[in-house]
Structure 1
């Protein structure tokens, strides 16, 4: 990994460690390009817990809701089923893991993966408060998932893949841990194809989920290069000029060789 990539990853880690500590002290976390109010808060209709239904928020510990930093609700589109094993990439305070755990039931399992100790501690506390027995939180990066091949039925993520410094590795690792026929259902920030990398950076910084976003074509081609089929990318709402929160769906084919992990 280059020095620049290492610096970006550390900046992301610091941002979300600080968000976890803020929530633990009774505040709320945030993601996104820039504050929209005088108090430094972001528009709740773009990022955060308002993207979940009142019923969903009402079933969870307040700290899990406060730590919601995403740009969508991947559990609403991931088609989770009773007994599924689901992995949340960049699980943060655990909101999507806890919602997934309820949907897959006691015969299923929900894994959360995060690289930030502070978020993992918050997520474990939230799982205990929720009484969730079918969850497990793992420390690691989304570019090197600490699970064996074919370990899960579904991979979800909420506004995290755009933060990765090596997105091809994320797509390859996601493909590896999914069983044949497994599904990807994520929310992420995606840029119009007309925007250059420089123009994306003008609209927001890397740790704010903007500068590192892929374009629609780049996202599709990246997933297909990893082996995914049936790729669908559906924008849901704007987050900056020419940039959108989008729902991304894809499938790992039932047959065919697994792609080798990236070197």
Structure 2
């Protein structure tokens, strides 16, 4: 596949360039907060003046007949003001449908633009809180393009359970293919060795007039450099209305300021 032939060398070049960054990048001490690979995207916002790229590969088996791929998924986060970030998101999608014969549906998914805003910091039992708003634009390959712009809204909270453990929980509301969808997510993260983080998560969604689908997953995040993190996660459904299982892997990279 031509795309794969160009993607692999490009990723190798990217990794080499990251490893050859000047000492300035390695000396950054501000914590790297990411919105991948979990679905319970927390309230954290990147600091003003930083640019952060979060990209990955996602495979999902919806049911016996349908598998979906997204490669790469990409989220660009830009710190505009203190507590406010600009977000740009998109993905290349590929669906494989197997009904006696196999066919591929490929193309660019919708481009989404939006923001995340920190509402307040954590204080005692009061959690850190943030809100997000994204708008999926009808800018995509014809097969994936929505008929109209589709907004997505979310509210996220986070509590520190200890110096190494956090609880994050979110609720959201938006539209997909013209239908309203409610979402939720909750995860517990535990940090090990200052570089390795493990999380356990449950999340789900419910479309109008449909039964809610619930999933659970586990993920690992490893900090290679102060500004470079790699991750892997896998999950499966908790009821028959949800996709059967999925796996995702990727990285997050913050440009030196």
Provide TM-score, normalisation by structure 2: 0.31
Bigger proportion of residues as strand: 2
**In terms of Rg, which structure is larger?**
2
